[in-house]
């Protein structure tokens, strides 16, 4: 069986940046399970894995456009602190969900002073070239529930109703 749309693939991976620093890895953890063709993982990696079989190992370099997108300076905004009423402590690095023209997105606090809070809606890996070292460890059919929900379920289901 090879990785194809609507199949669940399990992969072990290590993600590094251009400098070779490890950003994320499944080493020492369970492999990452995802459904091929549903956009569960970034497009560049999903495309590279299409057609691969269990045991295949690959190294993939993904440009920002096929990863988390280019860095967009317009997603950095300085907001009046009064917009954060009800939040007693606002610190650099905190994340909030914000309603934007593009829908709900996560924003990160970059700067805080007495009057303003600067937020950044870019993904932390936006604008970066990504280097993946991947091994395919399993491939299986997705269940009807997984396909209807659009993601892989752990043993016992996914904990929500649709």
The CATH number of the domain holding residue 101 is 2.40.10.330
Is 159 within the bounds of a domain?
no
- Of residues 156 and 116, the one with the higher pLDDT is 116
pLDDT at 162: 45
Q: What is the DSSP letter of 43?
A: H
pLDDT in tens, 57-91: 999 999 999 999 999 999 999 999 988 888 888 99
Query: Measured over all CA atoms, what is the biggest interatomic distance in the chain, rounded to whole angstroms?
Result: 59
Is 155 within the bounds of a domain?
no
Which residue range is the domain that position 62 belongs to? 7-68+127-149
Q: How many residues does the chain have?
A: 162
**Spatial distance between the Cα atoms of 35 and 139, rounded to a whole number of angstroms:** 10
Is 156 within the bounds of a domain?
no
- Kindly state whether residues 21 and 51 are assigned to the same domain: yes
Which residues share a beta bridge with 13? 134
- Kindly state whether residues 93 and 142 are assigned to the same domain: no
Number of independent structural domains in the chain: 2
- Kindly state whether residues 27 and 57 are assigned to the same domain: yes
Name the CA dihedral angle for 137, 139, 145, 148, rounded to a multiple of 10 degrees: 110
| In the block, residue with structure tokens 């396909």 | 147
């Amino acid at each position: 069986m090879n990785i194809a749309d609507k199949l669940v693939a399990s992969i072990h991976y290590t993600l590094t940046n251009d400098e070779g620093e490890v950003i994320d890895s499944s080493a020492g953890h369970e492999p990452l399970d995802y459904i091929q063709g549903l956009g569960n993982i970034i497009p560049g990696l999903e495309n590279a894995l299409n057609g691969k079989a269990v045991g295949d190992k690959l190294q993939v370099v993904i440009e920002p456009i096929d990863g988390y997108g280019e860095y967009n300076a317009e997603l950095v905004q300085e907001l009046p602190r009064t917009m954060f009423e009800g939040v007693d402590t606002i610190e650099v690095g905190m994340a909030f969900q914000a309603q934007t023209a593009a829908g709900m997105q996560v924003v990160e606090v970059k700067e805080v002073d007495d009057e303003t809070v600067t937020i950044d809606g870019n993904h932390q890996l936006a604008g970066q070239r990504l280097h993946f070292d991947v091994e395919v460890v399993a491939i299986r059919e997705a269940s009807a529930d997984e396909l209807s929900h659009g993601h892989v379920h752990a043993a016992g289901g996914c904990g929500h109703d649709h």
